[in-house]
Structure 1
Amino acid sequence: MVQNSTFLPTYNEPPPTAAEYLRQALPLMSANNIPTDPINYTIWYEYVSGKNVQLKQAVDEIISSGGQFDSNINQQLYKKYVCDDSIESIEHIRNNLLNLIGSTMDTVELTNKKATVAEESFSSKTENLESAVDVNDIKSILNDIILETRELASTSTLLKRKLHETNQEVNSLKNELEKARDSALKDGLTGLFNRRAFDIEMDKIFNNNPSESQISLLMFDLDNFKAVNDKFGHLVGDKVLKFTASLLEKYAAPEHMVARIGGEELAILMPDTSRQNALFIAEKIRDKLSRSKLQKKETNETLGKITVSVGISQLRTDDDINSFVDRADKALYRAKENGRNQVIDETLLG
């Protein structure tokens, strides 16, 4: 579903929210002796927003261990948690492509030079041939022409082979670029789209007259997930997340976008989907997860009842991205307040 994507992060916060993040970020940067350049500010903007859970965990670990935020650490944080490691893949592809273009241009230039020399030589020998009367002179000129023709043919063959190799390498780089793009837009753990892809798709929808179609949004949050991590460890918690993600993918329609947008928070963006159908899908996922008897593989120890709370909103004509998401969030937290393991539609908020 994601098209015309970018490798750069996108932000949709309204000015008051962005200003509040600024107010929180600058003192933290100052306390940790971090220069306020654009890359560093992006890291701490995402940190205080709380949306980039993996970044927040990494930064908190550095702080708790007494580590220093030097330029290398800041670059690593930005590449891994803001622009992903795929940015290095893009740089690798770009450099390979530049080398490939340079090598091909060298071959083309060499062929052009040889063709120019051959053209001048053929012109000169044509004049000599027209004035030649001695048989031996004519044979000598013809022998020269044959040799130069063979050399030119060899150069032409070299160019054809080089262009063929270039075509193969370009196709290989194209495939590598597609993989890098997928990596930049996918969550490494679950294989779902990530927060960046979700934001890009939201921007795309709101730039294309969204009021003309029914669009629903499901927001999921695993119940008591911290307790699962604390009791069974993060590896088991990761498997629970992956299993839950697989349920979302199973019941979502092909045109739906399934994304992991936070630590244990998932979402399904549902174009051309009525509220009734969105409720049906949400309930199917909730019910299936609550009835799944998950076990710790090594010991067959049961994990207990794993459940999820779900909030639903449907796009209104006066919505912007924030209001659309905010209503689904509020419905989700109403589901939490009401006892968890349930689906709450925005219409029940009052």
Structure 2
Amino acid sequence: MNTPVGQKVQVPDIAAQVTYAMRIMGVAPIPRNYELFYEAYIGSSPQLTREIAALGNKASQDELDAIGAKYFSHHHRAEAIDGAHDKMVSQLEGLLHLLTQEQSSLESYNRLLDETYNRINNKNAASVEIIRSAITVLSAATGDTISQGKERVETVVRKSREMDVVRRELDEYKRIANTDSLTQLSNRRAFDDKLAAIYNNTMLHNVTALVLADIDHFKKVNDTYGHPVGDKILASVGSIIRASVRKDIFIARTGGEEFAMIIEGNNQDEVVLIAERVRMALEHTPFKHSKTGVNYGPITISLGVCMASDAEGPAELYSKADTALYCAKNNGRNRVMAFEDGMKKEFAKSWLIYRK
């Protein structure tokens, strides 16, 4: 996709060109806008590319969201989440109201018990009629409370079940909204949340790392074999990364051919070994068409590592990991590099451009 001013910018990769196009069009650098411009740039839908280009230099967020809703159904998942959340809040308010009523009923019942007990034990109320009257009142109150209590218990149970259904529905909406449909890994939204949460616990910074990864020469694969083949390779790469590390490691597809891992519980040397295991797994995996035998490989990946203790916050951690990734690319690709002071930061992307 050409930039709106009709000239191509000589920058190192697709992400830079997408970001540049968004900047000169005055588009907010948030995840859903980045997705629109990335897909328009790679040409996955010629019609999408034309519609984006037709907006010119005055694209409003409403116009972009309308295009997003047209081409990407998951742009509406946030609305589904909000709806499920509101439904759960309503159910909870109803349940709390019911329990408040029950508490009020019990308080009234307790007062009646006290009054009845006092009447029975009043030495001045020795007549049989007074005692009989007190016992009658007590029996009626007890019967009413048991009946009402049973109904309320049944209502509480029913409402609790309804809330559990809504909770499961909400959990499923969140899972879908945080999952990349192509690789079934976490997506950029989930990654942003996970990365931001790293600095909530300073005690774990020495054993928490961010690893950024990028498939080498992936544009050449798309240009040579087409985007459908590229998508299959992306899905395979995601599966290989997932199979190469332990289950508790957070993995996300953060961009076109970009992936990220957040690793907790390991020092830098151990994290580098984990990243190296991923790199070698991809290097040794043949990428061939099962029927035609066409070889799409070799497919390799470069990775940059940075420990949370080497950064003051998520933005700096992302920038330093991306600097290490750039150095891995610049030093021959298909390698793992950990961030070190003095690394040349020629083109490190800022995590903040993806934050809403």
Name the TM-score, length of structure 2 as normaliser.
0.64
8 Å CA contact 1:252–1:258 kept in 2: the answer is no
- Letter of the structure 2 residue corresponding to residue 57 of structure 1: Y
Deviates more, 1:186-195 or 1:260-269: 186-195
Judge conservation of contact 1:217–1:325 (CA < 8 Å) in 2.
yes
Amino acid at match of 2:81: S
CA distance in 2 between partners of 1:116 and 1:244 (Å): 66
Comparing 82-91 and 233-242, the one that deviates more: 82-91
Structure 2 residues not aligned, in runs of 5+:
1-17, 42-46, 120-124, 345-356
Mapping of residues 53-68 of structure 1, within 5 Å: 53-57=34-38, 62=48, 64-65=50-51, 66=54
Tell whether the 8 Å contact from 2:216 to 2:302 is kept in structure 1 after alignment.
no
One-letter code aligned to 1:262: G
Q: 2:254 aligns with which of 230, 250, 261?
A: 261
Q: Distance in 2 between matches of 1:188 and 1:258?
A: 14
Correspondence list, 1:193-272, <5 A: 193-209=186-202, 213-272=206-265
Distance 2:65 2:308 in 1: 40
What displacement does 1:180 show? Answer: 3.0
Give the counterpart of 2:179 among 161, 183, 186.
186
Distance 2:136 2:207 in 1: 79
TM-score by length of 1: 0.65
Question: What is the number of residues matched between the two proteins?
Answer: 310
Deviates more, 1:242-251 or 1:56-65: 56-65
Q: 1: CA distance between counterparts of 2:48 and 2:179?
A: 25
Counterpart of 1:314, as a letter, is C
Distance of 2:287 and 2:146 partners within structure 1: 69
> 2 CA distance for matches of 1:288 and 1:26?
37
Q: After TM superposition, give the deviation of residue 133 of structure 1 in Å.
A: 11
- Matched-pair contact (CA < 8 Å) for 1:309–1:332: no
CA deviation profile, 1:78-98 (whole Å, cap 9, x unmatched) = 896997614422323313541
Contact map agreement 1:218 1:267 (CA 8 A) in 2: yes
Does the Cα contact within 8 Å between 1:241 and 1:264 map onto a contact in 2? yes
CA contact (8 A) 2:88 2:167 kept: no
Q: What are the equivalent positions in structure 2 for 1:35-114 lying under 5 Å apart?
A: 44-46=28-30, 53-57=34-38, 62=48, 64-65=50-51, 66=54, 71=62, 74=65, 77=68, 85-98=77-90, 101-102=93-94, 105=97
For structure 1, list consecutive stretches of 5 or more residues without a partner in the other structure. 1-20, 30-40
Name the CA shift for 1:27/1:344 in 2 (closer, same or farther; >3 Å).
closer
- Within 5 Å, which residues of 2 pair with 1:313-328? 313-315=305-307, 319-320=311-312, 321-328=314-321
Counterpart of 1:55, as a letter, is L
Deviations 1:122-169 (A, max 9, x none): x9xxx9xx9x999xxx9xxx9999999877655443322111101111
Query: Deviation of residue 241 (structure 1)?
Result: 1.6
Letter of the 2:86 counterpart: R
Q: What amino acid is aligned across from residue 98 of structure 1 in structure 2?
A: S
In structure 1, what residue type is equivalent to 2:300? V
- Aligned-partner SS, 1:189: coil
Counterpart secondary structure, 2:243: helix
Question: Closer, same or farther in 2 for the Cα pair 1:219/1:104, shift >3 Å?
Answer: closer
| Residue of structure 2 aligned with 1:307, choices 293, 299, 305 | 299
Using the TM superposition, name which of 92-101 and 218-227 deviates more: 92-101
- 1:89 counterpart letter in structure 2: I
Question: 1:194 is matched by which residue type in structure 2?
Answer: N
Measure, in 2, the Cα distance between the counterparts of 1:144 and 1:276.
78
Counterpart-to-counterpart distance in 2, 1:143 and 1:95:
44
User: Deviations along 1:171-205, whole A, 9 cap, x unmatched?
Assistant: 22222233333334332322322233333333332
- Structure 1 vs Structure 2: percent identity of aligned residues? 22
Determine the structure 1 residue equivalent to 2:270: 277
The answer on whether the counterparts of 1:286 and 1:342 sit within 8 Å (CA) in structure 2 is yes
Q: Report the equivalent of 1:291.
A: 284
Q: Equivalent residue of 1:173, what SS?
A: helix
- Aligned-pair RMSD on alpha carbons? 4.9
Give yes or no for contact 2:206–2:267 (8 Å, CA) kept in 1.
Answer: no
Structure 2 counterpart of 1:88, one-letter code: A
Alignment check: 8 A CA contact 1:198 1:261 kept: yes
Query: Residue type of the partner of 1:275?
Result: Q
Note the C-alpha offset of 1:242. 2.1
**Counterpart selection for 1:159 from 147, 152, 165:** 152
Give 1:14's aligned residue: none
Q: Given residue 36 of structure 2, which amino acid in structure 1 is its aligned partner?
A: L
Deviates more, 1:260-269 or 1:310-319: 310-319
Deviation string, structure 1 residues 229-286 (Cα, Å, up to 9, x no partner): 3444434322222221222222324443222221110122223323332332222222
What is the aligned partner in structure 1 of residue 8 from structure 2? Answer: none
C-alpha distance in structure 2 between counterparts of 1:59 and 1:324, whole Å: 29
